Amino acid sequence: MADRGMATGGRGLTEGDVADTAPDWTDAGAARGRTSHASRARRFVADAARTTWHDASLWGVRAKRDAAAAQVPDWETLREDAASTKRDALARLPELWRRFEERASAAGAQVHWARDAREHNEIVARLLRDRHVSRVVKSKSMLTEECGLNPFLEARGIEVVDTDLGERIVQLRHEPPSHIVMPAIHLRRQEVGALFAREMGSAPGLEDPDALTAVARRDLRGRFLAAEAGITGVNFAVAESGAIVVVTNEGNADLGTALPPLHIACVGLEKIVPETRDLAPLLRLLARSATGQAITTYTSHFRGPRPLPGSELHVVVVDNGRSRLLARPDFEEALACIRCGACLNTCPVYRRSGGHSYATTVPGPIGSVLAPARDPGAHADLPRACSLCGSCSEVCPVKVPLHRQLLAWRGVLADEGHVPRHRRAALAFLSALMLRPTTYHVLARVARSLARRLPAPILDRLAAPWTRTRALPPIPAQSFREQMRARRRRREQEHRP
Amino acid sequence: MRVALFVPCYVDQLRPTVGLATLALLEAVGCEVAYPEEQTCCGQPFATAGEPRRAAALGRRFVEVFEAFDAIVAPSGSCVATLRHGLPRWSPDPRAHAVAARTRELCELLGDPATRPLPRGRYPHRVGIHASCHALRELRLGSPSESREPPRPDPARRLLSGLEGLELVEPARRDECCGFGGVFAIEQEAVSARMGLDRLTDHQRAGAEVIVSTDVSCLLQLEGVARRHGHPQRFLHVAEVLAAACGLDGDAGRTS
Amino acid sequence: MSGARDAIFAALEAARSVRVAARVRAPSPALPADPVAMLRERVAQAGGRLQALTRPGSLDEVEWPAPLDTLHHVYSAHPALASRGVGLATTDVHALAALELCVLRAELAVVESGAVWHVPRSPGERAAALLAEHLVVVVPDSGLVATLHGVYERIRLDRIAFGWLLCGPSKTADIEQALVLGAHGPRSFRLVLEPD
């Protein structure tokens, strides 16, 4: 678990292309080869056994989260605290970032500003090139995923090694992470074993997680020792002290910054908090919400470079659509997200459709809120890939009203023309009918009567999307209203003199 | 207590027995029940399908039809949630706020001290409660499994637990979504049905013979999946169970 | 790139929300009735072990992860144990890769989570804590705090270049959610409470 940089990048996995060829990472790619979330999800659930396993794995994480929350007596107050901290910060980002810049600079860090992904990538590439760096270790950062940093650096001859085990696995498979905290949660151990046999020369058939992790540890230890720079994300930036906080369980962000002289930390504009003490509620919630741990193994606070000659700390602050989201009152609260992934774990749709079905850097409920802000045309179906059960909003440690935002997006996207016209026309007809009770009840009666007479196969075909997987209910002869009218008439007759 | 009965459109058309059972229960607890015939739909299907203005138009109509009543009751957590949260958002009209506040889910009302208690009922079956997401998380009828808030009463569960002979069996996941979700059930039919199947399997493992909910929409989904997979359970609205248990279902058999 | 900086601040000013968020602050809880018992449980949950010593100033009672006389490379920040092997050569952080044991002294331990707050004395010490096979952290009895609130009330983040919370051995569950200790860093973690 490391930085959960906000992301809205469109990562398209096209049908029939799951692992062996590199998917097109860009929004344009997503738009070109576009299939809907529904069709990708259909492919996922078609493998019933894998769906059962994927659902159970993530439900297990949700259960651990519940148990961890139960260990904290003032859990709901902590959520209030964290939610108000993040909203307070969002309400005064300019002054907080000015203060951060001043304090971090005073501590010897250099602060850079990037309007978009390209500027971010260019700043990082320039820092590396100027120092003749060719080997970089990177700890998990959803922001650098969002910006497509790896391919950008690789195209410039710089080797980037993702060091989080899950990230390393998906990097070697040339696919995006399917989860923001557990990047390889979609893979079975056999698949990891086969990958390591191919890429790291481990024994074929090896599938014990302990043994596979040991293989990766050996391989990556050498890369840590040889690295000339470390890139990390940032979980929290603290305005008061100019510090950045990075959390991991593996210690990969720490090894990647303790050994090489150059540390580049990439941070989204929404990651800042006002004061040091604000970290307490946020950190008490983060790991418990994410994995059910009380706290991650490593929670590192960097303020300035290492006190060794030649050491540097650069902080790259990235907008990339965040200020645009901040300008939308309906959706700005999504910027409070601390990337714990709890909404993914609890989402009944995510668990049964897999992270790749969202075709975005950040999948699941929070991803479905963020993605349309960046490219409404490419991601208009995501806010509808939700049954509005509301579980996401309940687990969110910073109380982002996720399901309300998903509902709000549906209206906005329909108005912006991203819903098929025939679908809107059908709803227009139905709502007009509902405003005219007499016509509605006559038509409904006719429809019921027809449905009762039609042969089942024909009726099934007419009700197709429903009946593909479900039986229709028996259709009653009389509606409740009709029965009430009949009853009233009976009573009137009885009382007639 | 004078109450207006709102029978949601899909209940009216597809499960009228739920309306009849609701009426019988309300009368049994001493309510004077009016059924305004001009009622149609609360607007929820349009809200969830991304047409908030069309939902708002139906919401305004709902206010016109129901504003004369002290209390409005519906056998649906989902529609009541839409009305309670939607009406105030859709209209600045203070009447909309008042109607929203007076609209209640059936079991909420049945537990109200202003009504008489139901007669003692008997229902000798193993029952699994399917928690409707909207009754639970929007109306807070009960405590969602995610939340650490102080426990809240769950009126449907309380009413069912009071029935003699009824054995409540608990699924492992106590409040996961059935996968209905309105337009979601159609647009995301594959995932939706898989959610329904998983919910059903969970109840089946717990040993439920009858699966009971405050919401017919959840029941249609679960029953639809069960029939397709040949599962034998019965799917009943809480009003149907209570009316049958208390011997109030005289009218309920006369449908279909 | 001052152009980018100015543009970002202009965009943030333009988007500035008029809503002022009311701050809620969760209380900083007091220590539980039996802090050592809870700490022991939470350290164990994080894959580590807790040991409470009875005598100050000595590490004789510590149950080391391996017999001390079998270890050739040790880094120790505790005066009761001397560094040896590459543990002495803290100027080249890369040389520390051979470390078998690292002993740290930390200020605070968080009862609720099992984490310790540690400020490395040098970049070498920080690297040693990551590269060693086994990590032992010694915290004074007086350093127990209930939660992270207690940590941030006591430390001055604006006076250090680096500080961290450490909790248990390095770990991962990235392969089928199976917990594996020793992902990149130490494979074992002992928290030792030392009387003041």
Contacting residues of A for B223, CB less than 8 Å apart? 471, 473
pTM for this one?
A: 0.94
Give the span between the Cα atoms of C46 and C110, in whole angstroms: 13
Average pLDDT value for residue range C159-170 = 97
Look at residue A15 in the predicted model and tell me its pLDDT: 30
Same domain, B160 and B239: yes
Contact A480 B149 (CB under 8 A): no
User: What is the average pLDDT value for chain C, to the nearest integer?
Assistant: 94
Give the span between the Cα atoms of C43 and C169, in whole angstroms: 10
Give the contacts of A154 (CB within 8 A, at least 6 positions apart). Answer: A160
Same domain, B140 and B244: yes
Burial class of A339 by CB neighbour count within 10 A (0 to 12, 13 to 18, 19+): buried
Phi/psi of residue B43, nearest 5 degrees: 105, -10
Contacting residues of A for C110, CB less than 8 Å apart? 295
Q: How many domains does chain B have?
A: 2
Give the span between the Cα atoms of B136 and B77, in whole angstroms: 8
The dihedral through the CA atoms of B108, B113, B114, B116 has a sign that is positive
Same domain, B62 and B132: no
Look at residue A21 in the predicted model and tell me its pLDDT: 31
**Ordered structural domains, chain A, with CATH:** 27-324 (3.40.50.10420), 423-495 (no CATH)
Give the span between the Cα atoms of B62 and B74, in whole angstroms: 13
For A:325-354, CB contacts with B below 8 A are 346, 348-349, 352-353
Give the pLDDT of chain A (497 residues) as one tens digit per residue: 444 333 333 333 333 233 323 333 334 344 445 689 999 999 999 999 999 999 999 999 999 999 999 999 999 999 999 999 999 999 999 999 999 999 999 999 999 999 999 999 999 999 999 999 999 999 989 999 999 999 999 999 999 999 999 999 999 999 999 999 999 999 999 999 999 999 999 999 999 999 999 999 999 999 999 999 999 999 999 999 999 999 999 999 999 999 999 999 999 999 999 999 999 999 999 999 999 999 999 999 999 999 999 999 999 999 999 999 999 999 999 999 999 999 999 999 999 999 999 999 999 999 999 999 999 999 999 999 999 999 999 999 999 999 999 999 999 999 999 999 999 999 999 999 999 999 999 999 999 999 999 999 999 999 989 999 999 999 999 999 999 999 989 988 887 76
Taking the Cβ of residue A275 and every Cβ of chain B, the question of whether any pair is shorter than 8 Å is answered with no
Contact C17 A164 (CB under 8 A): no
Contacting residues of A for C93, CB less than 8 Å apart? 258-259
Give the span between the Cα atoms of B12 and B18, in whole angstroms: 8
Look at residue A23 in the predicted model and tell me its pLDDT: 39
Region for residue C142 given its phi and psi (left: phi exceeds 0; alpha: psi -120 to 50; beta: otherwise): alpha
Query: Quick one: pLDDT band at residue C18, thresholds 50, 70, 90?
Result: low
pLDDT tens for residues B27-64?
999 999 999 999 999 999 999 999 999 999 999 999 99
For C:124-143, CB contacts with A below 8 A are 126-127, 130-131
Q: Which residue has the higher pLDDT, C17 or A61?
A: A61
Look at residue A496 in the predicted model and tell me its pLDDT: 73
What single letter denotes the amino acid at residue C42?
R
Look at residue A497 in the predicted model and tell me its pLDDT: 63
| Ranges of chain B whose pLDDT falls below 70 | 250-256
Level-2 CATH architecture, domain C27-194: 3-Layer(aba) Sandwich (3.40)
Contacting residues of C for A77, CB less than 8 Å apart? 24, 26-27
Residue B40 domain flag: yes
| Domain boundaries, given as residue ranges, for chain C | 27-194
CA-nearest residue to C113 within chain A is: A294
Q: What is the CATH number of the domain that holds B208?
A: 3.40.50
Give the contacts of A48 (CB within 8 A, at least 6 positions apart). Answer: none
Give the contacts of A483 (CB within 8 A, at least 6 positions apart). Answer: B16, B19, B20, B251, B254, B255
For C:144-173, CB contacts with A below 8 A are 147-149, 151-153, 155, 157-158, 160-173
Same domain, B133 and B104: no
A26-41 as b/e, with b when 16 or more CB fall inside 10 Å?
A: bbebbeeebbbbbebb
Q: What is the DSSP-derived secondary structure letter of residue C58?
A: -
Region for residue A202 given its phi and psi (left: phi exceeds 0; alpha: psi -120 to 50; beta: otherwise): beta
Q: Give the ipTM of the model, two decimals please.
A: 0.97
Look at residue A435 in the predicted model and tell me its pLDDT: 96
Contact A477 B256 (CB under 8 A): yes
Chains C and A: 3 or more CB pairs within 8 Å of each other:
yes
DSSP string across A353-414: H-GGGG-BSS-HHHHHHHHHHH-HHHHTTGGGS-----HHHHH-TT---HHHHHHHHHHHHH
Question: How far, CA to CA in Å, does A124 sit from each of A100, A133, A149, A305?
Answer: 20, 11, 8, 17
Counting as contact any 3 or more CB pairs under 8 A, the partners of A are B, C
Q: How far is A155 from chain C (nearest CA, A)?
A: 23
Name the residue facing A166 among C110, C166, C174 (closest C-beta).
Answer: C174
Among the three residues B110, B140, B172, which one is the final residue of a domain in this structure?
B110
DSSP string across B82-125: HHHHHHHHH---HHHHHHHHHEEEHHHHHT-TTSPPPPP-B--S
Same domain, B221 and B131: yes
Residue B120 domain flag: no
Q: Which domain holds residue B106?
A: 2-110
Among the three residues B65, B84, B110, which one is the final residue of a domain in this structure?
B110
Helix pair A480-495, B16-28: axis angle to 10 deg: 50
Residue in A6, A15, A46, A60 with CA at minimum distance from that of residue A357: A15
Look at residue B112 in the predicted model and tell me its pLDDT: 85
